Structure 1
């Protein structure tokens, strides 16, 4: 820790250069999730075997099935039907450009009207076989949406590939909301804990830099080493890294505040903080690291993708052992402004009483915990679902309810 304090400015510059370099050169995680993030079952499961048999006996069945949906709130008029037919004819005329290999509709095949036209006459569907090859689904969908637009009728595309695209988009939208909520919640908690204008931003800056660095490193691992990834990887990283990172920073900064309050110099306070509380943080992080790294050896891809959190924890600990001491050593008492003049540690009666109760009456403490924890566990009736549509809201076009 003495060397870290001595070279804290070069270390900060190194972090900034490293982060900038990674952000400018790292592959896009969103694109990698679309390319490699599809959740697949391990070999040997019935659905996997069925898929292999299908490819074996029908090797020419390349392409994905898309469903083109045309609908209106009223019964489709003859004029509406003609515009829909014209739209589908345009798709047929530009098959190669749109990556469409086959179009099946009720206009060319009248016998399909019972299946492709709703009983109330408000909806018409058509089946498109799309062989996108290396073209992203997002681009194929965009081009098809343009051809499907007709006046007076709403049009949507659905199908497995489109649904998976919306699942990825939904995860990105959810990630943005998660990041925003996490930052606001952490700031509120830290303001309440430290009652300082400066201290709450130290954990956010430290964990934020660590997260951005870790995300870039994981992106390189995914692209070049086929590291496991899914639509949930970034959400896992945000939740775990900001959760434990904030806890660790609170512990270290609280201990630093105590040491300064006891009359130690800033330098001595930082060293003693990491000699005591720093060990607790390190041992805790190792336990979490082992837990997430072990997920690499499970079979289900969704769980394996959480191993990226292990990479995040390693980088987070580098940040906590270099960036947090930088702020402590540079700001000192100013870290706790405006209450930095009297920062002597005061005993908290509530936590002191809770600690004595747990130590003197362990069975009563366990009973209190059981009263709080057991009812939710017993009453929980969550059901499992393997339906990708459950992962996205009804606002996405592929899941539009008619």
Structure 2
């Protein structure tokens, strides 16, 4: 599927770019002004008791607006709030706000100053008359409308010459939103240029570095349009905006990095642009799609939680990840298809070089992997122990809700809220509430008395106002809202009078219910994500062990990351340097960290294992697959992690603690995962597991094969199509491939003998360039020796100048030959002038055949390589006249006098001949009229048709089995029994020395 898609993208590359860019830019235009459509709600559990209490109270009395905006006024130095001039300025400002902005300001709730008909409270000023407050209600039926209206009139609250500070829910919420918007702008200004510089050093060129940035930018703007579309159907929290920028930019650039790197690698291997694009989509494109699927599965677990905040983040993140993968397999391959080798344009030679396979495996990553696999236990034990120690601080984790402490200590809004809480503790904006229904005065008094005994209260419960429709609201302030759980538990454990309903509500109860809902749904989310990702990884890799190992590795990295965050942000280590106040972490943010970190861990695991499985599908052993996969992905995974660290690091400068939490959490997770786990722990554990890494039950294997999602078989397309891939004799054959095997080739008739070959020669792959070079070398030799050039159709490939080692079979007593004969084809013309050779003399008899030197399995295997049926084992035929060569002079054939005496011969049974097979060569089938093997018949008959040593003309022994011809050096007639032979200079030498002399020539 991916191969076809790669071909389609290349053929229609201009169309693909035009359509996709138009769609993404249209989505970007639709997403303009997204922040106006985002909500501030979604932090609570809609099905909780506290939310039910809020709905009942709001439905009866209307929305509680007392905490919308609290203006804190401080008297000038040397004066009090009773100063007439001071009071006049404050009152005039508040009356003007209500008169000029009736669509924004709902009413003045009341306070210390007399403003219209608003109640005046003496408790709204401190004892020394230096501070006073006023409560203002903002128009809006939900948090989104209230936040937008407050943003429009926020600046109108400030008065020249008067110290005014704004506290309350809307100023705190507005400060959080404004800070997030500032963080996004900072990320765009700092992260994008830094990532561009990093990509330049990774690729060594401006064009290659710009491509991932283009994909990242298109992904982010396109995702904003998708989120804008989602806001038409459901509320989306404003926190989705930085998540879209963070995930979209970081992940899309990572995907672009993998795609561009693989394309340049394929081009460096010698493929043309079309093939490189197709192979890139087949490999890295496929991995990107499955990686995005894994991350979507991980983020999809957020949809299981009831909080709208997590659902909003899931919507935006899933849309962003999907667009990142889509653009990476559409726009980016199309651009690469247009650029081709120009992808390296505008580059520096020092950084531009793209390494091929051999250089990559010899790089530091290949050497590091070999060292790790040589010492798997020494690597695994220290890393696992160290990561477990980092998990220990996680035992002190604490959860809380969003409040002013998430702002930096020097924030004016936080300072106002803290000063208000300190001066007016009884008027805090986060009291715990009891919403009582159908209670008479006696029952109500009983409830107030029992509830006021709850721990952690700073005052007794008092009614907020008169009862209405049988509903009354009681409230009381807390000493510490972060320690509200015992208070909430006490109130909910009270026994209500008969017929009376008591609901515990208020901000502290909403936060505790949200935490409880998260903890209740967390196991379901973890189990579902683990099962889904394990299933997807199994369908991808065909192994059940690898997904389980990946889940354990990801859990180890995630636990250590959360331990580090707890040690920093809750225990407070380094808070002065990082400018934050230690405290409980928001539980929704923690769940978001878990989903993102687990998704990124799975992402890198998929890229690493995909390259290992690809190598194994091509026949590599487990050890080789680990080495190849780690060496090829080590540099890219490290670069991808650095890019994400740069992007998330820009959010580390945020003034929001929760953004720091996400930023530093991702940085810690990336450092641990991309280095300690992927580069050290994964290869070490896989080395310890060995071939068990690929285990899965047989029935699951069958399911995986039927789905067709296995790793594609990536053939070496640079090899000649007529050269089969060979496996050395005795070596383990390649592993079974997941994809269907190609259709068998049509068998061709065997027109020449199959040579015996060595394991070393069979393991070597002969490229087309090598074959052409050998042809040119042969022709050059012919020209140098004066031999006529052969026609192109007569040129046959010959192996390199390696010795064609032969072993002389021991002769056996002669036996009668059949009378059958046939004429031999005319011999090839002599390559150069030389004295006429004596006419071949018929030999008295062929030696008795020795034992066959080829077994049936080898014969069947060699026949399979030629796409022919395996023949019966055939013994080696009698020696034939050697073929003349331009590089070595012909040796005279052995005369009948060279046969040892019968009493000096060894029987074949006692000392069978063991021929050393020659190096194979790709040969062209001989024409019917052309003699084979340089002038001699392949069946052992000389070119002139005379039988050798009395054997039948067709070279077939008496028993009817055929034997191959073997070239032999001449035997010294004076020293035949000693096994020595006469060389050209007349000296008697050994067989090995004679062969060595021939090879040197």
Q: What TM bracket, shorter-length normalisation?
A: 0.7 to 0.9
CA distance 1:242–1:369, shift in 2 (3 Å): farther
| Superimposed CA distance per residue, residues 268-323 of structure 1 (whole angstroms, 9 cap, x where no aligned partner) | 11111222222222221111122122322321222222222111122111100112
CA distance 1:9–1:342, shift in 2 (3 Å): same
| Structure 2: tracts of 5 or more residues without a match | 1-5, 420-1001
**Considering only CA atoms, is the larger Rg found in Structure 1 or Structure 2?**
2
TM-aligned CA deviation for residue 206 of structure 1: 0.8
Q: Which residue of the other structure, out of 367, 380, 389, is the alignment partner of 1:366?
A: 380
Distance in structure 1 (CA, Å) of the matches to 2:250 and 2:200: 16
Distance in structure 2 (CA, Å) of the matches to 1:122 and 1:274: 71
TM-aligned CA deviation for residue 367 of structure 1: 2.8
Give the aligned partner of residue 72 of structure 2.
69
Give the aligned partner of residue 152 of structure 1.
161
Distance in structure 1 (CA, Å) of the matches to 2:407 and 2:152: 19
Q: Contact conserved, 1:182 with 1:242, CA < 8 A, in 2?
A: no
Give the aligned partner of residue 756 of structure 2.
none
Give the aligned partner of residue 323 of structure 2.
315
Query: After superposition, where does 1:225-374 map in structure 2 within 5 Å?
Result: 225-226=233-234, 229-307=236-314, 308-336=316-344, 337-339=347-349, 342-345=353-356, 346-347=359-360, 349-370=363-384, 373-374=387-388
Is it true that 1:207 corresponds to 2:213 in the alignment? Answer: no
Q: Which residue of the other structure, out of 390, 403, 406, is the alignment partner of 1:388?
A: 403
Q: Contact conserved, 1:100 with 1:130, CA < 8 A, in 2?
A: yes
SS at match of 2:14: helix
CA distance 1:277–1:82, shift in 2 (3 Å): same
Is it true that 1:100 corresponds to 2:111 in the alignment? Answer: no
Distance in structure 1 (CA, Å) of the matches to 2:46 and 2:81: 50
SS at match of 2:400: coil
Give the aligned partner of residue 229 of structure 2.
220
| Superimposed CA distance per residue, residues 151-200 of structure 1 (whole angstroms, 9 cap, x where no aligned partner) | 32222322112322222222212222233343234223322322222211
Give the aligned partner of residue 169 of structure 1.
178
Q: Contact conserved, 2:138 with 2:146, CA < 8 A, in 1?
A: no
Name the structure where helix makes up a greater proportion of residues: 1
CA distance 1:391–1:28, shift in 2 (3 Å): farther
Distance in structure 1 (CA, Å) of the matches to 2:260 and 2:96: 67
Q: Compare 265-274 and 72-81 and name the one that shifted more.
A: 72-81
Distance in structure 1 (CA, Å) of the matches to 2:282 and 2:81: 81
TM-aligned CA deviation for residue 67 of structure 1: 0.8
Is it true that 1:15 corresponds to 2:24 in the alignment? Answer: no
TM-aligned CA deviation for residue 219 of structure 1: 0.9
Distance in structure 2 (CA, Å) of the matches to 1:65 and 1:235: 25
Give the aligned partner of residue 38 of structure 1.
41
Is it true that 1:399 corresponds to 2:407 in the alignment? Answer: no
Q: Contact conserved, 2:177 with 2:238, CA < 8 A, in 1?
A: yes
Give the aligned partner of residue 55 of structure 2.
52
CA distance 1:244–1:129, shift in 2 (3 Å): closer
Q: Contact conserved, 1:158 with 1:397, CA < 8 A, in 2?
A: no
Q: Which residue of the other structure, out of 2, 25, 28, is the alignment partner of 2:7?
A: 2
Distance in structure 2 (CA, Å) of the matches to 1:73 and 1:5: 73
| Superimposed CA distance per residue, residues 24-46 of structure 1 (whole angstroms, 9 cap, x where no aligned partner) | 3336221122xx34123123434
Distance in structure 2 (CA, Å) of the matches to 1:149 and 1:244: 43
TM-aligned CA deviation for residue 63 of structure 1: 7.2
Give the aligned partner of residue 125 of structure 2.
117
Q: Contact conserved, 1:145 with 1:156, CA < 8 A, in 2?
A: no
Distance in structure 1 (CA, Å) of the matches to 2:255 and 2:372: 23
SS at match of 2:207: coil
TM-aligned CA deviation for residue 257 of structure 1: 1.6
Q: Compare 352-361 and 317-326 and name the one that shifted more.
A: 352-361
CA distance 1:361–1:197, shift in 2 (3 Å): same
Distance in structure 2 (CA, Å) of the matches to 1:237 and 1:373: 30
Distance in structure 2 (CA, Å) of the matches to 1:122 and 1:247: 57
Paired positions, count: 396
Q: Which residue of the other structure, out of 123, 127, 134, is the alignment partner of 1:126?
A: 134
CA distance 1:188–1:372, shift in 2 (3 Å): farther
Distance in structure 2 (CA, Å) of the matches to 1:197 and 1:22: 28
Distance in structure 2 (CA, Å) of the matches to 1:89 and 1:373: 62
CA distance 1:84–1:144, shift in 2 (3 Å): farther
TM-aligned CA deviation for residue 216 of structure 1: 0.7
* Greater relative CO (CA pairs within 8 A, separation 6+): 1
SS at match of 1:400: helix
Q: Contact conserved, 1:95 with 1:101, CA < 8 A, in 2?
A: yes
| Structure 1: tracts of 5 or more residues without a match | none
SS at match of 2:161: coil
| Superimposed CA distance per residue, residues 345-366 of structure 1 (whole angstroms, 9 cap, x where no aligned partner) | 2225321133224444443333
Q: Compare 65-74 and 248-257 and name the one that shifted more.
A: 65-74
| Superimposed CA distance per residue, residues 326-380 of structure 1 (whole angstroms, 9 cap, x where no aligned partner) | 2312222232233398534222532113322444444333334335534443346
Distance in structure 2 (CA, Å) of the matches to 1:269 and 1:181: 34
Give the aligned partner of residue 187 of structure 1.
196
Distance in structure 2 (CA, Å) of the matches to 1:260 and 1:49: 63
Distance in structure 2 (CA, Å) of the matches to 1:55 and 1:161: 18
Distance in structure 1 (CA, Å) of the matches to 2:146 and 2:54: 22
CA distance 1:111–1:249, shift in 2 (3 Å): closer
CA distance 1:365–1:90, shift in 2 (3 Å): same
Distance in structure 1 (CA, Å) of the matches to 2:169 and 2:65: 14
TM-aligned CA deviation for residue 263 of structure 1: 1.3
SS at match of 1:225: coil
Q: Compare 169-178 and 349-358 and name the one that shifted more.
A: 349-358
TM-aligned CA deviation for residue 136 of structure 1: 5.2
SS at match of 1:43: coil
